[in-house]
Chains A and B, each alone.
Chain A
Amino acid sequence: MNPFHSLARLARRARLFVARDAAEQSMDDEMRYHIECEARDRMARGQDEASAWRSARQTFGGLDRFKEEGRDARGTRLAEDLQMDARYAVRVLRRSPAFALASLITLALGIGATTAIFSVVRGVLLRPLPYAEPERLAVLWERNVPRNHDENVVSVPNFEAWRARSLAFDAMAGMVPAPLTLTGLGDAQRVRGAEVSSTFFTMLGARPLLGRVFASGEGERAPANVIVLSHRFWLEHFRGEQGVMGRAAILDGSPRTVIGVMPADFEPPRVGWMQDPEFWIPFTPTASNRSWGRFLIVIGRLGKGVSIDRARADQERISAALAVEDKADAQWSSSVKGLTEQIIGDVRTQLWVLMVAVGLLLAMAIANVANLTLAQLRRREHEIAVRGALGATRPRLIRQLLTQSALLGIAGGIAGVLAAFWGVHALIGLLPTDAPRAGSIRIDGAVLAVAALTSVVAVILFGAWPTLHGTKDRLAGALGESGHRGTSDRLGGGALIVAEVALAVGVSVIAGLAMRSFLSLRSVELGFDARDVVVMRIALPGQRYQTNAQQVAFFESLLGAARGLPGVQSAGTINIRPFGGGGPATTVAAEGKSDQDLSNAPVTDVRVADGDYFRTLRIALVAGRTFGAQDVAGAPARAVVSRSVARQLWPGEDAIGKRVKVNLNNGIVAEVIGVVADVRAMDARTAPRPAVYLAFGQSNWSVMDIVVRGDAGGAGGAAALVPAVRKRVAELDAALPVYQVAPMSELVSASTASERFTSILLASFALTSLVLAGVGIYGVLSGDVVRRRREIGIRLALGARPYRMLTLVLRRGLARAALGVALGLAGSLALTRSMRALLFEVSPADPVSFGLVALLLLAIAAIATLVPAVRASRVGPAVAMRGE
C-alpha cells in the first residue's frame, strides 16, 4: 500500500473516531432501513405484513452481532479501547492519589535530573563546535622533547615556518590575549581582547553580524589599525548602534577603526590561556615579537581528507628541520590535537561521571515506581480477579494496566521535562565561569527526544514487569483467597531491594569520592594565606611611564599610600598573582657549577616582587631575608628562590650568598638572599612550582598586581579596602584603570569551582538515591508484612515470640541490603576506575568512601526495615487470623 493511501486511511479513521457517536447512530439507522426495505420488498411480492417483517429480520441476522463486527471493520477499535482504558486508568489513579503522586514525583525526579544532565552533556560534548567543518580544525603546539611537555605555546618564527612549509594544513591562525586600556568611551577601562592572524575568522567560517572581518593578509606585514568587536563590547560601549562602522575605539592610546561586529552566538575557541575576548585586532609579526620566545596559540584547518595523524607527522617533519636550523629549537618538536578534543577533553570524564550517576538514579526511580505499581496491583487483585472472572482476557487486562503505567509515564515525563527546564537553568548558574561551551547548553529537540525515549523505556520497565509478573497467577488464583501468595512475589520484592541498594551504593560511592577529592583539594597546603587579602591589577601606559624609574616610583608611592590606609596591615606587589595564570618561566642554573646539559636544568617560574609581597601573603621565609629598600636599580642584582630551587641547585648546601643564572632577557645573574616556601601558583590541583623571585626595584615591569592584607575579620573583608586604594590610585594618576580586582580567597575557591560543581551535583544525587533506597526498602518490606500478616499471626498464635517475628523481617531486609551493598561495592570498584583523572589525592578504590557508603546504606536499610519489623512483631494473632 502506498504511503498516501495509508495516510488517507488514518485520516478516515481519525474522522470516524472523532465522530464515533454519529457513526454509531448512522450504522443503526442503516441496518434498520435495510430491514425495512427488505420487509417492504417482501410485502410487494405478496407476503403479509407480519411475516414479511419477521422474515426480513430473520434473513438479516443478529443486529448486535453485526454491529459489533461493523465496529471492528471500521478500524477505530484500537483507539476506542485505548480511550476507554485511559478513562478507566484515570479513575483508578484518582482513587489512589497517594500512589499516583508518589509515582509521579519519583518519575519526574528521575527523568528531570537525567534530562537536565543530558542537556549539559549534549551541549558541551555532543553538539559539534559552531564552526564550518569543525572536525577539520586542530590546535598546533610545540612539544618540549626532554621534558615531554606536549602542549607548549608557539614562537612567532616557528608559527611562520609552519605556515609556510605545512603540507597538511590549508590555513593557520596565531592568537594571543591582548589586554588593553580603553579610553574615550567613558572611564578608562581595561578590556580583554585578542590579537589574531587575519585568517582567524575565515578559517573558522565565522561571519560578522555587521561590517566585515579581517581581509586575508590584513595587518600581517604592516600594522593595521582596525578592530572587530564582540557583540557584548558593541552593546556595552557603542550601545548597539548600527552606524558603529568607521568609528574609533582608543586602545592603549592609539585609535582603531571599527570594521565589524561579531554576532552574539559567535563562540571564540577557548584554548589554553585564551579567554573570551571582547574584541579582535590583527596580529602583526615583528622583529620584536619574533624574539619574545613562545607565546602564540595556533589553530589550523586541516586540508580535505587529511587526518590528525598525518598532520602530526607533517608537523614533526617540519620541526625536525627547524631543530637543525636554529639552536633555540634543538630540544623542540610539535604536536597536534583536534580542536574539539582540546576544548572539551578536560570536562569529558567529569560530565560522563555525572551522566552515569544520574542514570543510576533514574534506574532507582524506575525500580521504586515498579515497586509502587506492584503494590498497587496487589491492592487491586480482588478487583482484577473479578474482571477476569467476568471474561476479561489476560491481554486485555495487561493492556488496561499498561495504559495506567503509560499515563503515569507521560505525566512523569512532562513533569520531568518541566523540572529539567528549571534544572538546566540552575545548572548553568552553578557552572564554573571557565566551563567550556556553557552557552550551547539548552533543552532542544534532541534532548526532548531523549526525555521521551527515557519515559517510554521507564514505562516499559516499571509498567510491564510488575504487570506481567502480577497478572500471571492473579487470574488463576480464585476470587476468595487473597491472604497468601506464592514465593514469586517475595522474590520480586527481594530483587528490588538488592537492586536499589546496589544502585544507591554506586551513586553514593561516586559522590563520596568526588567530595573527598574536593575536600582534600580545599585543604591542600597552598604555601600562602589567602584570607583577608585582596588583589588588583594596574597597567602603566608606556607613553607616560617610559622609564623603569618612573614605573617603580609610581608603584612605590602607591604602595606607600596603601600601607597608610586604615585597616591595611601590609601591601606588596608581584608581576603575576598566584592563581593568576601562567607567567614567564625559564631554565635556571647555579653559577660556577659546570653547565649541565640544558635538558637537566630545572625550569622555574620567574616572578618580580617586592619584600612586602611575601609578608602580605604570609609566604614562609625559610632562610635569609626578602627584598628591602636597598635592592634597587644600580645595586647588585638579588633574588629570592623557593625551597625546591635551592634544593635542586645546591643540594645539601646553604643557598644564601650563592649566585643563580636565570635564562631570561639575555641572561640574569643574581645573588640569592633568601629562600621561601614553595607556592601552588597555578591552582590548587597543580603541584607547587619552583620559583625564582627577582627584586621589583631592579626590574622593569609596567603591569603589576597589588596585594593588600586587611585586618583579620575587618568589616566587609579585604574587599572593603578596594575603594580607598582606588582613590589613592586616582590621586596619583586619574587615567589609570584598576582591574581584575578580587579577594584572594575568591581566586582560590574559583580554582576549585569545577570540582565544587561536580561535588554538589553528585552529593544531591547521592542524597536522592539514599532517600529512594530507604523508601524502596520500606515499601517492599511493609508490603511483605501486610501480606504475611496471617502467617505471622498463626506463628504468634502457635507460640512464636514477637521478637522472633521482628528478627525474621529484619533478617530478610538486612540480608538483601547486605547483598545489594556487596554487589554495589563490586560494581562501583569497576566503575570508579575511570574516574581517576578527576580525583585529587584520593584513590578510585578509596576505602574510606567505600566503607562509609556501605555503612550508611546498611544503616538506612536497618531503619527502613525496623518499622515494618516492629509492625510484624505487634501483629495480634486474632486480628491476623480473621484475615483482611
Chain B
Amino acid sequence: MRETKTELLQGTLDLLILKALAAGTLHGWAISKRIRLMSRDVLEVNQGSLYPALYRLEDRGWIASEPGESPEGRRIKLYTLSAQGRKQLAREVEAWGLFSGAVNHVLRTS
C-alpha cells in the first residue's frame, strides 16, 4: 500500500463528488471510498470535510439526497446526481481539462 497521498486542490472536491455519483447512488462514506479507489489511492478526501461539501452541493441542487437502508438495515442517507448536477459535472470536467492542459503546457515549456 502506497502511503503518499496528495492533498486535494481547492475546489476539486466538488468535481470529484459529482464524478463519484455519476455512476450511481452512494452514501457518504462510499463516496469517499470511491474517490479513493478511482484515484488508485492517490487522492485522499479529507473525510470530515466531505459533508459540508455534500450539503453545499445539495443546496445548489446538483445532488439530491434520499433516505435508504444500509446492508445491515440501518437508515442512512443516499446521494444521487441530479440532472442539473450532470450538466454541472460536464461543465466542470471541461473546465478541468482546460485548466490541467494549460498547467501541463506551462510545466512542459519551462
Contact with A along B52-67 (1 / 0, CB 8 A): 1101101111000000
Q: A9-B59, A9-B60, A38-B29 are in contact. Are A29 and B49 (CB under 8 A)?
A: no
Tell me if A733 counts as interface (CB < 8 A to partner B): no
The number of residues on chain B lying at the interface, defined by a beta carbon within 8 Å of a beta carbon of chain A, is 26
| Residue from A29, A59, A60, A75 in contact with B59 in the complex, judged by beta carbons closer than 8 Å | A75
CB-CB contacts below 8 Å: A53-73 with B: 59-63, 65-66, 69-70, 72-73
CB-CB contacts below 8 Å: A326-340 with B: none
Nearest residue (CB) in A for B56 is A73
Q: A34-B29, A37-B29 are in contact. Are A26 and B77 (CB under 8 A)?
A: yes
Residues of B within 8 A of A34 (CB): 28-29, 32, 47, 50-51
Tell me if B74 counts as interface (CB < 8 A to partner A): yes
Tell me if A309 counts as interface (CB < 8 A to partner B): no
Complex CA gap A69/B55 in Å reads: 9
Tell me if A803 counts as interface (CB < 8 A to partner B): no
Complex CA gap A843/B98 in Å reads: 80
Contact with B along A31-57 (1 / 0, CB 8 A): 101100110010000000000000000
| Residue from A9, A37, A41, A74 in contact with B55 in the complex, judged by beta carbons closer than 8 Å | A74
**B29 pairs with A74, CB closer than 8 A:** no
Residues of B within 8 A of A33 (CB): 27-29, 70, 74, 76
Q: Which of B55, B58, B59, B77 is most buried by chain A, counting CB atoms within 10 A of its CB?
A: B55
Tell me if B86 counts as interface (CB < 8 A to partner A): no
How far apart are A58's CB and chain B's nearest CB, in angstroms? 10
Tell me if A473 counts as interface (CB < 8 A to partner B): no
| Residue from B33, B61, B76 in contact with A30 in the complex, judged by beta carbons closer than 8 Å | B76
Nearest residue (CB) in B for A67 is B51
Tell me if A5 counts as interface (CB < 8 A to partner B): yes
Residues of B within 8 A of A73 (CB): 52-53, 55-56, 59
Tell me if B100 counts as interface (CB < 8 A to partner A): no
Tell me if B39 counts as interface (CB < 8 A to partner A): no
**B51 pairs with A66, CB closer than 8 A:** yes
Tell me if B73 counts as interface (CB < 8 A to partner A): no
| Residue from B48, B52, B53, B75 in contact with A60 in the complex, judged by beta carbons closer than 8 Å | B48
**B55 pairs with A5, CB closer than 8 A:** no
Tell me if B84 counts as interface (CB < 8 A to partner A): yes
How far apart are A691's CB and chain B's nearest CB, in angstroms? 84
Tell me if B12 counts as interface (CB < 8 A to partner A): no
**A61 pairs with B28, CB closer than 8 A:** no
How far apart are B2's CB and chain A's nearest CB, in angstroms? 14
Complex CA gap A73/B58 in Å reads: 9
**A30 pairs with B47, CB closer than 8 A:** no
Complex CA gap A12/B51 in Å reads: 17
Residues of B within 8 A of A788 (CB): none
Tell me if A874 counts as interface (CB < 8 A to partner B): no
How far apart are B75's CB and chain A's nearest CB, in angstroms? 7
Tell me if A180 counts as interface (CB < 8 A to partner B): no
Residues of A within 8 A of B46 (CB): 61
How far apart are A47's CB and chain B's nearest CB, in angstroms? 12
**B49 pairs with A9, CB closer than 8 A:** no
Tell me if A13 counts as interface (CB < 8 A to partner B): yes
Contact with A along B21-43 (1 / 0, CB 8 A): 00000011110110000000000
Complex CA gap A37/B51 in Å reads: 15
| Residue from B29, B61, B84 in contact with A12 in the complex, judged by beta carbons closer than 8 Å | B61
**B77 pairs with A74, CB closer than 8 A:** no
Q: Which of A33, A38, A74 is most buried by chain B, counting CB atoms within 10 A of its CB?
A: A33
How far apart are B19's CB and chain A's nearest CB, in angstroms? 19
Residues of A within 8 A of B30 (CB): 37
Tell me if A27 counts as interface (CB < 8 A to partner B): yes
**A69 pairs with B52, CB closer than 8 A:** yes
**A13 pairs with B59, CB closer than 8 A:** yes
| Residue from B50, B52, B77, B84 in contact with A5 in the complex, judged by beta carbons closer than 8 Å | B84
Residues of B within 8 A of A59 (CB): 47
Residues of B within 8 A of A8 (CB): 61
Complex CA gap A616/B34 in Å reads: 110
How far apart are A180's CB and chain B's nearest CB, in angstroms? 73
**A70 pairs with B55, CB closer than 8 A:** yes
Complex CA gap A37/B32 in Å reads: 11
| Residue from B28, B59, B70, B76 in contact with A74 in the complex, judged by beta carbons closer than 8 Å | B59
Nearest residue (CB) in B for A6 is B61
**B51 pairs with A27, CB closer than 8 A:** yes
Q: A5-B61, A9-B61, A33-B76 are in contact. Are A72 and B52 (CB under 8 A)?
A: yes
Q: Which of B32, B46, B48, B51 is most buried by chain A, counting CB atoms within 10 A of its CB?
A: B48
Complex CA gap A560/B77 in Å reads: 104
**B51 pairs with A70, CB closer than 8 A:** yes
Nearest residue (CB) in A for B84 is A5
How far apart are A1's CB and chain B's nearest CB, in angstroms? 9
**A70 pairs with B29, CB closer than 8 A:** no
Contact with B along A97-134 (1 / 0, CB 8 A): 00000000000000000000000000000000000000
Nearest residue (CB) in A for B75 is A29
Complex CA gap A13/B51 in Å reads: 17
**A61 pairs with B49, CB closer than 8 A:** yes
**B29 pairs with A65, CB closer than 8 A:** no
**A30 pairs with B51, CB closer than 8 A:** yes
Nearest residue (CB) in A for B33 is A41
Q: Which of B33, B52, B77 is most buried by chain A, counting CB atoms within 10 A of its CB?
A: B52
Residues of A within 8 A of B84 (CB): 5
Complex CA gap A271/B61 in Å reads: 63
Residues of A within 8 A of B77 (CB): 26, 29-30
**A62 pairs with B61, CB closer than 8 A:** no
Residues of A within 8 A of B48 (CB): 31, 60-63, 65-66
Residues of B within 8 A of A9 (CB): 59-61
Residues of A within 8 A of B59 (CB): 9, 12-13, 73-75
Complex CA gap A33/B51 in Å reads: 12
How far apart are B110's CB and chain A's nearest CB, in angstroms? 36
How far apart are A361's CB and chain B's nearest CB, in angstroms? 46
Nearest residue (CB) in A for B1 is A45
| Residue from A13, A62, A63, A66 in contact with B52 in the complex, judged by beta carbons closer than 8 Å | A66
Residues of B within 8 A of A62 (CB): 48
How far apart are B20's CB and chain A's nearest CB, in angstroms? 14
How far apart are A22's CB and chain B's nearest CB, in angstroms? 11
Nearest residue (CB) in B for A9 is B61
| Residue from B47, B55, B70 in contact with A38 in the complex, judged by beta carbons closer than 8 Å | B47
How far apart are B6's CB and chain A's nearest CB, in angstroms? 15
Residues of B within 8 A of A60 (CB): 47-48
Residues of B within 8 A of A66 (CB): 48-49, 51-52
Complex CA gap A622/B89 in Å reads: 105
CB-CB contacts below 8 Å: A143-195 with B: none
Nearest residue (CB) in B for A66 is B48
Complex CA gap A31/B33 in Å reads: 14
Nearest residue (CB) in B for A36 is B29
Nearest residue (CB) in B for A5 is B61
Nearest residue (CB) in B for A16 is B59
Residues of A within 8 A of B47 (CB): 34, 38, 59-61
Residues of B within 8 A of A41 (CB): 33
Nearest residue (CB) in A for B50 is A34
Complex CA gap A8/B61 in Å reads: 8
How far apart are A40's CB and chain B's nearest CB, in angstroms? 10
How far apart are A162's CB and chain B's nearest CB, in angstroms? 68
Residues of B within 8 A of A12 (CB): 58-59, 61
Complex CA gap A69/B33 in Å reads: 21
Complex CA gap A252/B47 in Å reads: 98
Complex CA gap A13/B84 in Å reads: 17
16 sampled A-B residue pairs with Cβ under 8 A:
A8-B61, A9-B61, A12-B61, A29-B75, A30-B51, A33-B29, A33-B70, A34-B32, A34-B50, A38-B47, A59-B47, A63-B48, A66-B51, A70-B55, A73-B52, A75-B59
Known: A63-B48, A70-B51. 8 other contacts (CB 8 A): A9-B61, A31-B51, A34-B50, A61-B48, A61-B49, A66-B48, A66-B51, A75-B59
Which residues on B are within 8 Å of A, measured CB to CB? 27-30, 32-33, 46-53, 55-56, 58-61, 70, 74-77, 84
Closest 5 CB pairs of A and B: A61-B48, A73-B55, A69-B52, A37-B29, A66-B48
